[in-house]
Amino acid sequence: MVFFRPTDASGQSLRSVTADDFRPLALALTGALDLAAVDRAAAAAFERVSEPFVARETRPAMRAEVDLGTVWRAGLIDELRNPRPKGPVAQRILCSADDEAQWLQMRRNGITATDAARLATPASVRGVANDKLMGSSFQGNAFTEFGRRREPVIAQWLQEEHGIHSCGLLIRAAEHERHLATPDGLAEWGSEVVLAEIKTTNKPWKRIPRNYLRQVWWQQYVVGAERTLFVWERHDDFVVQDAQPQSVWIERDDAEIAKLVKFADEVLERVDSLRAGVR
């Protein structure tokens, strides 16, 4: 992509170049939706412009320092930033969340960590089953959108500070092919698999909310992990309040997992029965 400065018939510039002219360049070079970083990159690009200006490429011609590996189907996950698991988990990967259509379809036919977060009572079993059949009425809000935009930024911190890479993979349990999870982060430290879960909140937590614990335990069961680094960032009216994210390790709880598995199987049994009745 090339940017041109407007000129008159004599070739004189009609206006001065500003940092905003290079905002597309900054966007192309940033991997996360961090608007402050975008503005810094735009300003840096502007500083590199020398007079007279005619045209400038958006990406400098240089040889890559590293091999970025195979770019996945949607082009958003690569082997450098998001290494594919090499251990036993690799055999249970169903797809990448970047392939959204396939990811959503597979999730509809199974129980995910989002579903497990709700599974606390018999009434919740009915609610999750109904959503599987009819679809959920919840389509997101300002809080979920803010969390979606902040997640790549927090994930970058997680990778730099703890060595846990973003995941974005739909994984099935070894014990049940319809028990599914897409962890926010996954790392293989020798024979140990560790996970990460990322949240944003506008509340000063004294303890991790119970529904988030169920989500974490379900992911541990599906993937086969013993602990999860739970990471959260607090905001006030969508203005980040923490200098850096807060985090705590959550250990696996097999007793709680057994309850979730029981509820999940009840959901699937109910869904299958109602679908058979419709036919």
pLDDT confidence of residue 236:
87
pLDDT confidence of residue 137:
65
Helix axes 254-278, 122-134, angle to 10 degrees: 50
- Pull the structure tokens for residue 87: 């251990």
> What is each CA distance from 86 to 79, 93, 160, 191, in whole angstroms?
11, 11, 21, 10
pLDDT confidence of residue 230:
96
Q: Could you tell me the mean pLDDT of each successive run of 10 residues in the chain, 279 residues long?
A: 42 46 43 54 48 34 33 42 80 91 91 96 94 78 85 93 94 96 94 95 92 97 97 90 92 97 96 80
pLDDT confidence of residue 134:
85
Type of residue found at 251: E
Q: Which helix (H) or strand (E) holds 277?
A: helix 254-278
pTM beyond 0.75, yes or no: no
pLDDT confidence of residue 4:
39
pLDDT confidence of residue 45:
47
pLDDT confidence of residue 239:
86
Q: Which helix (H) or strand (E) holds 128?
A: helix 122-134
- Pull the structure tokens for residue 50: 């020398």
Q: Which helix (H) or strand (E) holds 112?
A: none
Domains present along the chain, CATH in parentheses:
76-278 (3.90.320.10)
How far is CA 82 from its chain centroid?
Answer: 11
